[in-house]
Amino acid sequence: MAIHPIDYRYGTPEMRSIWSEEHRFTCLVRAEIALAHAEAEVGMIPSDDAKIIEQNALSASLLRAKEIEAEINHDTMAMIRAISEVCGDAGRWIHYGATSNDILDTATGLQLKDAFTTLEKKLVALLTVLLDRAGSTKSLVCSSRTHGQQGVPTTYGLRFANWASEVSRHIDRLRELRPRVVVGQMTGAVGTMAAMGTHGIEVQAAMMKYLEIGSVDVSSQVISRDRYAEYIFMLANIATTLDKIGVEIRSLQRTEIGEVEEAFGKKQVGSSTMPHKRNPIKSEQVCGLARIVRAMIEPALQNNTLWDERDLTNSSCERITFPEATILCDHCLKLMTGVLENLVINQENIRRNLLMLHGITLAESVMIELTRRGMPRQDAHEIIRESSMEALAAGKPLAEILSAKHDVVKYVSAEELVGLLNPDAYIGLAEVQVDNLIRKLATYCSL
């Protein structure tokens, strides 16, 4: 019986698979195989036995390990015995010199390696969509909004480009973080490597080389959890960007604004009682799940404050934080990529909103030109501010109000005011910035 929504509602098959119980068990077995291989390489155990372990260990059964655990109440030792059973006499070397977390944390490193690969692909896919959208809308002039109020014009291309730039930084962070997080250890009971004599450093290096992951410099009995806290924070940071995009889409889809809209299926239902509804449910889902991912930061930080060389308070917590945070972040990445790829853009409503205030949003343009032609900047600001308030109160075009003011027309003619209050002529270098960003980030999308 499924209980958690990850089991039946949220998550991609590929990321759920990485954090599945079956794959976790496989990673644990792989870590034990790598340990035997490394110890044979340095002469600690017979090479023939290491080969037998390598050939047979992966046939160990998760079900059998669970049966053993029910008897002995220790999951790692149950796994060790399950592997030993399928390796015959060579099974005597399974887990030789290791402590539980050497295998547990190294298995986590293998899972994180797969997770990083999947997340990077999803981030690149999202970036590709955003850059495509930025390029196709770089000249689509629209209203900007600060504090929820219309400001000077911007373009949809610049809006998409801002999101693309943010996503590219997440890719940078992921690539920078990977070598700090995708690591394993083989340091023994409290990190001294005593059980391996003089071979500890060699064994750890050979083991991680075999698994193709990084190696800690030092550890206690566990890998320091600052690494994992940084990973969880990265997921929360990514989820927050997706939340930010979702909030904007939801705002722009409001009936009174209506500039964009999530794609709506032919037979899709928006409400059980209001048949007309077309709700931004995917963006809302992203915004909601982002809260859960962010909530994982506090336990991830607390997992680093363990007693002495270690205690077990992190273990139960990480069984939840790793899969939940990663699967939900990955889910949100895929969902938001689809939303943006299929986003409907209503140019008619964009234009309507842009012209709604009859030039008042272009007040800065006139102020700048008056100052350029000789009026003190603060005087220009005040006269344009007063004229804008007057135009708003009277419901008149700003050009009409300004044309009647002698202090304005002695610097700028009525005909020139029309040009200065044209929103299409006041987008600055928005198009150039978009083009520059697309060129800069093109290499990210060629993976």
- Which positions are catalytic? 147, 271
Burial call 431-441: b when 16+ CB within 10 Å, e when fewer: eebbbebbeeb
Which residues lie closer than 8 Å to 296 by C-beta, 6 or more apart? 232, 235, 236, 321, 324, 325
Question: Taken in order 207, 210, 215, 217, is the CA torsion positive or negative?
Answer: positive
Tokens standing for 245?
Answer: 């995009």
Cβ neighbours of residue 285 closer than 8 Å, sequence gap 6 or more = 332, 335
| The amino acid at 334 | K
Chain length of the chain = 447
CB 102 within 8 A of CB 220: no
Strand 344-345 relative to strand 260-261, pairing: antiparallel
With contact defined as beta carbons under 8 Å apart, do 131 and 157 qualify? no
Q: Residue 387 and residue 322: Cα distance in Å, rounded?
A: 57
List the one residue out of 231, 225, 186, 238 whose CA is nearest residue 209: 186
Q: In angstroms, rounded to a whole number, what is the distance separating the alpha carbons of residues 256 and 63?
A: 57
Q: Nearest Cα to 173, choosing from 263, 236, 251?
A: 236
